[in-house]
Structure 1
Amino acid sequence: MPAHRQEHRRRWASVLVAVVAAGLLAGGLNTAWGAEGNLAAGRAATGSAPCTAAETPRTAVTASVRDKFCSAAERPFLQVDLGAPALVGRIVVQHAQAGGEPAAWNTRDFTLSVSADGAAFTAVAAVTGSTAATTAHTVTPVRARYVRLDVTRPTGTGDRAARIAELEVYPAAAPTPSIVPPVSAAPCHGDAPPLLTDFLQGHGHPLTRAACNADVAVYHDAALAAVPAGQTAWATAFTTDVWRYMKDAYGSCAVPRPACERFGEPRPLLALFHRTAGAGAGGTIRYRFDAATGNRATIDVAAGSWADSAMLRDVITHEACHHAEFDGQGVLDSPAFTVWGDSKWAEFCVYDFYVNTGRQADAERVRADFGAGRDALPPGAGPSAWFRDWFLPLWRDGGGRPDVMRRFFELTAEHFPRREYGGGAYAAYTRRMTAGEYVHFTSAAAGQDLSGRAAAAFGTGFDRAQFERARRDFPALTY
């Protein structure tokens, strides 16, 4: 049995990040796209006269927001030839802010049109007054070879230049059932008793079950139990949505183990909520392989106010994301933890959850917040823009779904050194990854060599010799 690992705790700033005006992110609460690849990537593009020789139309179809198309023409436009007719179902526009420029330069008014022959175009979306960094437009499936963006108001200022970091086109797909079904009443599992004693952080105080369904059991301490139920009910519904998404997105186990699938379902997640003095909020987790928890996945969140807030939504989601990282595959610990810290991975996870459950304003808010972040990670790196230069491109490469990170965790469970316990009931990793190993495993998950992207994103935090050694040490991982 491995030694008990002390739970990690974070304290989040008490000042809420201002909500960025909501864009037109794809998807709704009850549908999710089975996205395939970006049809526009690398295709021929034309447009109005560029601002400079380096900002031509082709720079808007490179599958990267590091370059952009810029045009100060009287009627700026951008047009991409998909190369062959395709059934188009979604168009995504990455505006100025997505490429790291001021939000005031995001395209304000524009029209999207499609054509079979490049001559006769039919409008499929018209937008006015947008302030979003990214706008995603689900359209009635239409067969087209050409997609065109016409800008009528380039910015929210007097600046007349239109700036498009990327124009993405995705094929139509039948909507699939949402992976976050409506919350419904269900009997409590036997592992969610009406009363329990807080087993985290040595608190030892009593907790009362405030709500329960087939997915989560929510407990309140005495201070929170004194708050009117109507003020805290949102947290149960929200936590249920989060945990259902985690189970569907990251709950498949690559190595069969008892009670591994979907985080040990039907056992529910225990959510221990506390009301504290002060305006901040913080959280921690304990693992389902820890005897102290009764082998139950647990999150613990404390806050001064339990009114529905962006800060609390972020903390609850962040903590649930750690379960995908630390025990989702039936293997204890996170080999990549020293590489991405606490926690650049969670930024991918939180953003993806908000996008794919239709929480548009939250997605835009955290995208701006995470995109501005800089961290000296991996160890030895200078300030690195993890979300902007690493995780957001990975998410886009996967069609705006969590699949690349689910695959990363699966490959890690299959191939990274571990020790078995309990007759194979679960395992624990025996060491942490080097940055080179992390990039190698992520490349295999993404199906492409990401060493060049890692060198650009992490600078001195990426060691190519370390990466090449990882390729020799783990030859079964191919891409």
Structure 2
Amino acid sequence: MKRYLCYVLLVGGSLFTLATFASKNTAWMAPVVKDTTAAPPLTWKEHWFEHAQVMRRVFSNSSVTVYYDKETPESITWPDTLLTKVWNYTTKTYGAFGKDNRLFVLLHTGKYGGGHPSTYFDGSHDYRNVIDVGHEGDWVSNTGWNLDAAVHEVGHIVEGAAKSVHGSPAFPIWKDSKWMEIYQYDVYRALGWDAEARRWFDMQMKGTDNFPRPGTQWFKNWFYPIYHQYGGAKVLNNFFTLLAVNFPRNGNAYTRDLNWGEFIHFWSGAAGVNLKPQAIIAFGWPASWEEEFLQAQKEFPEVKY
């Protein structure tokens, strides 16, 4: 079985997420999706990882339900409004996430120091779209790490369940946070949170990673140029749409991951232009990618640019 696991730790004040996709199994079957349209319960006992708290419901509307542990004061209300706006924009942009189409927000104070997501495909979290985030400090502020950590996990729900298909074939390529960097920038910008968008943009433009080669600047040389030149949120959404329509799946679950050539091919389709020159700038171009890229064009001819 191919399972999605993401866990975030707070290390030195920075957001650090451990996230993996387990190896694929040829016997993998599409997950059963249960109807969770019943009213959210007043309490919810966690039963995953080391979490075992009874969480209390502190807010609920048709879009978002918020639960706190006993250490998180109910006087903290910004998640109610801000995460409602984030989720409403997300579902408007990428489509519905299950029959309930609701985001469940679980916040902890003084423990865990990070977070993880789960989607409505996953029985581990009772078939709900969940962000479960812990803070070793407090949730008083509605900016900086507090906002970023919560929105980061919402982005994982998008990549793991967009277009009613389970899984993220691009995850082994962009790993934990690269997709989230452009997703979060788009959210902050679209919601008119100019200070947050500028703060986030400046931080990501300076960021470097050691994959696929040392010194790679994913945001500066890949995601932002594509986003800026080829349609903003539209190009981000196009990528998931093309995957859902064209990439191999068994029912409502992807059966394998993208290789690099396919990754560039599908993003080219999303942008409507051959992105090989941009990929060379951002990542280099090993000989194996050329073979994969040409094969992807043959295997997925409906992805056009």
Identity, in percent, stands at 33
- Write the distance in 2 (CA, Å) between the matches of 1:282 and 1:292: 18
- Give the counterpart of 2:145 among 281, 293, 311: 311
TM-score, L = length of structure 1: 0.56
Conserved 8 A contact 2:4-2:167: no
Matches of 1:216 and 1:316, distance apart in 2: 13
SS at match of 2:208: coil
Deviation larger for 268-277 or 357-366: 268-277
Cα drift, residue 456 of structure 1: 1.2
Greater share of strand: 1
- 1:404 offset after TM fit, Å? 0.5
Report the CA distance shift for 1:475/1:341 in structure 2 as closer, same or farther (over 3 A).
same
Which runs of 5 or more structure 2 residues have no equivalent in the other structure?
A: 16-36
The match for 1:349 is: 183
**What's the secondary structure of 1:7's corresponding residue?**
strand
Q: Which residue of 1 aligns with 2:265?
A: 440
Q: CA deviation at 1:237?
A: 1.2
State which of 156, 181, 184 in structure 2 corresponds to 1:322: 156
Distance 2:39 2:103 in 1: 9
Query: What is residue 457 of structure 1 aligned with on the other side?
Result: 282
* Residue matched to 1:289: 121
AA at the equivalent of 1:474: F
Query: Secondary structure of the residue that 1:214 maps to in structure 2?
Result: coil
Instruction: Report the residue type matching 2:225 in the other structure.
Output: P
Q: 1:431 aligns with which of 239, 256, 279?
A: 256
Quick one: which of 215, 218, 228 aligns to 1:383? 215
Corresponding residue to 1:247 among 91, 113, 117: 91
1:7 Cα offset (Å)? 2.4
Aligned residue identity for 1:219:
Y
Q: CA offset at residue 476 of structure 1? A: 1.5
- Indicate yes or no: 2:222 matched with 1:394: no
- Give the equivalent residue in structure 2 for 1:238: 82
Matching residue's letter, 1:312: N
CA distance in 1, matches of 2:14, 2:253: 37
Q: Distance in 2 between matches of 1:441 and 1:197?
A: 40
- Aligned equivalents of 1:368 and 1:382: distance in 2? 20
Alignment of 1:159-198 (within 5 A): 190-198=38-46
For residue 16 of structure 1, report the CA deviation from its aligned partner. 6.9
Aligned-pair CA distance for 1:465: 2.1
Pairing partner for 1:362 from 196, 219, 243? 196
How do residues 84-233 of structure 1 correspond to structure 2 at under 5 angstroms?
190-224=38-72, 227=73, 229-230=74-75, 232-233=76-77
Structure with greater helix share of residues: 2
After superposition, the Cα gap between the structure-2 partners of 1:455 and 1:438, relative to the gap in structure 1 and judged at 3 Å, is same
Write the deviation string for residues 441-479 of structure 1: whole angstroms up to 9, x where unpaired. 000010000011101110156822221111111111111
In 1, the alpha carbon distance for the partners of 2:101 and 2:301 equals 37
Is 1:466 equivalent to 2:298 in the alignment? no
How far did residue 200 of structure 1 move? 3.1
- Rounded Cα–Cα distance in structure 2 between residues aligned with 1:275 and 1:322: 22
- 1:293 deviation in Å? 2.3
Per-residue CA shift, 1:332-375, capped at 9, x if unaligned? Answer: 11000011110201101000011111111111111111111111
CA distance in 1, matches of 2:124, 2:171: 23
Conservation of the 8 A alpha-carbon contact between 1:200 and 1:286: no
| SS of residue paired to 1:327 | helix
User: Structure 1 residues 4 and 206 mapped into 2: Cα distance closer, same or farther (>3 Å)?
Assistant: farther
Distance 1:392 1:234, change over 3 A: same
Q: Does structure 1 retain, via aligned residues, the 8 Å contact 2:121–2:128?
A: yes
Paired letter, 1:430: T
Contact 2:102–2:129 (Cα < 8 Å) also in 1: yes
Alignment RMSD, CA only?
2.0
Distance in 2 separating the partners of 1:433 and 1:191: 38
Partner of 1:11: 9
In 2, the alpha carbon distance for the partners of 1:290 and 1:4 equals: 11
Q: Give the TM-score normalised by structure 2.
A: 0.87
Q: What displacement does 1:294 show?
A: 2.4
The one-character-per-residue Cα deviations of 1:179-207 (angstroms, maximum 9, x if unpaired) are xxxxxxxxxx6241101111332412211
- Cα deviation digits, residues 213-235 of structure 1 (max 9, x gap): 110110011111xx2x33x1012
Unaligned runs of 5+ in 1: 18-188, 252-261, 421-426
Structure 2 match to 1:409: 240
The answer on 1:372 being equivalent to 2:206 is yes
